Amino acid sequence: MKIYYDHQVFTMQKFGGVSKYFSNLIEHLPPDYNGIMAPCYSDNIYLKEIALSNIQHFNFPKNFRIKRRLYYFLNNITHRQFLKQNDYDIYHPTYYQVANTSKPVVITLHDLIHEKFPQLFAAYDRSAQLKKQAIQRADHIICVSENTKKDLLELYPIPEQKISVVYHGYDLNQVSHLEEKENYILYVGDRGGYKNFKNFILAVSPLLLDDRSLHIICTGKPFHSGELALFDRLRISNQVQVLSNVDSKSMLQLYRKAKLFIYPSLYEGFGIPILEAFGQNCPIVLSNTSCFPEIAHDAAEYFDPDEVKSIQEAIEKVLFDEVLTKTLVEKGKLRLQNFSMHQMANNTSEIYKLFR
């Protein structure tokens, strides 16, 4: 059975949760399911790791925004040509712009952040509109958590039988042994808006001032001027760093060595980094919102993301309570067993089978 995955998220992202999800899915589909893509240009690090033969990239221009526009133009051409050939059984778009096709369409709904927090996005952002159109067009909708399914049913009149919940997966072969920790807190991914990065920095800055050897390591885009000004005002500039273009192997190393991983977001659909931290014996400090308690259960220390003091107290607990830290790591290992990559791919293939 041929499942066609388009280029969208792999054009938009060098790295990120959605592109990681789709590359994992393509790589782990059962043998009688063939995940295919039209030839495309992409700088996505996860596609490079699974080494699809028809993925290429330009060494120029260096500006990713310019390159992304060029990629989108070229990839749309091959995408439309591929659709016309009709040599696939199911179309599973990797984002919310769904092309015209006579074949069944399965979409994955990652979250409803734009719908729940419209004030945090620019007026020209079309994500909510595209998502609504994709939801209406889809023959079946995969939600990545029960919380996301609940939000979907509250916002759209969708028959419940058209919805399945399939959790993200983790490669259980990558579970590591406990290693000696280094004195840093790990923050992963985007930092704008609902990600609540500023409240985290305000909460952690007194701890950084008390212990000048304590650092924050972020992964993702370089810091912008507003963030740099905040660090400077709080006198912590030398204790905060960002690493960009981190490959999967290096990312796991960062989790293994971190004193803790923090996820201060106001809302997420799932939260793949939770599984990555579990797998690398990294204690987790989480917002008590959206899907987080559903995914982590009692294997995390929780805080109110709107309260700076609550965030600080949760961080302090995990930094300074060795018994709590050890307990969270052990509970994380147990919780991770519910999220295998094999289970994620098999559950998704069962949905594809509905259209065989």
Structure tokens, 330: 């052990």
Q: Which residues pair with residue 140 across a beta bridge?
A: 106
Closest among 144, 167, 148 to 158, alpha carbons compared: 148
Of 16-20, 230-234, 240-244, 296-300, least confident by mean pLDDT is 16-20
Structure tokens, 335: 């919780």
Structure tokens, 117: 């927090």
- Which has more pLDDT, 54 or 87? 87
Closest among 66, 93, 71, 70 to 82, alpha carbons compared: 93
Decide: helix, strand or coil at residue 10.
helix
pLDDT in tens, 270-327: 999 999 999 999 999 999 999 999 999 999 999 999 999 999 999 999 999 999 999 9
Distance in Å from the first CA to the final CA of the chain: 8
Stretch 148-161: mean pLDDT, rounded? 95
**CA torsion through residues 334, 338, 343, 344, sign:** negative
Helix, strand, coil percentages, rounded to 5, for the chain: 50, 15, 35
pTM of the full structure:
0.90
Per CATH, the homologous superfamily of domain 2-169+340-353 is Glycogen Phosphorylase B; (3.40.50.2000)
pLDDT in tens, 184-195: 999 999 999 899
% of the chain residues with pLDDT over 70: 98
Q: Could you tell me the residue ranges of all domains in the chain? A: 2-169+340-353, 172-336
Residue 22 has pLDDT above 90, yes or no: yes
| Fold that domain 172-336 belongs to in CATH | Rossmann fold (3.40.50)
CA distances from 214 to 4, 54, 197, 301, 322 (A): 46, 44, 18, 20, 17
pLDDT in tens, 23-71: 999 999 999 999 999 989 998 888 888 877 678 876 666 676 788 888 9
Quote the mean pLDDT of the chain.
93
Stretch 193-201: mean pLDDT, rounded? 96
Are domains 2-169+340-353 and 172-336 of this chain identical in fold?
yes
Structure tokens, 108: 């994955």
